[in-house]
Amino acid sequence: MMQQYRAYLVGENGVFRSAEAFEAASDASALTFAQQYTRHGKVEVWQLGRKIAVLESEQSPQGTSLQGTLTRQ
């Protein structure tokens, strides 16, 4: 069964800059999908009122890839 998720792009000041609604079969699938947005910055992934994870930006300040480091909530 598909579930509703949102990926929020987090600005430097911690405020959400944009959101993308999508469906995924599981939390793991949702994280894989949301990973694409990390090229624009930090992304919070939510399923309704439940925070799934924070995906760090693809690019660190030094320009090296962090490859979606997860912080589980």
Contact partners, residue 53, CB within 8 Å, separation at least 6: 27, 31, 44, 45, 70, 71, 72, 73
- Distance between start and end Cα atoms, the chain: 23
Average model confidence (pLDDT) across the chain: 85
**Predicted TM-score (pTM) above 0.75:** yes
- Give the confidence band of 60 by pLDDT, cuts at 50, 70, 90: low
User: What pLDDT, in 10s, does the model give residues 15-47?
Assistant: 999 999 999 999 999 999 999 999 999 999 999
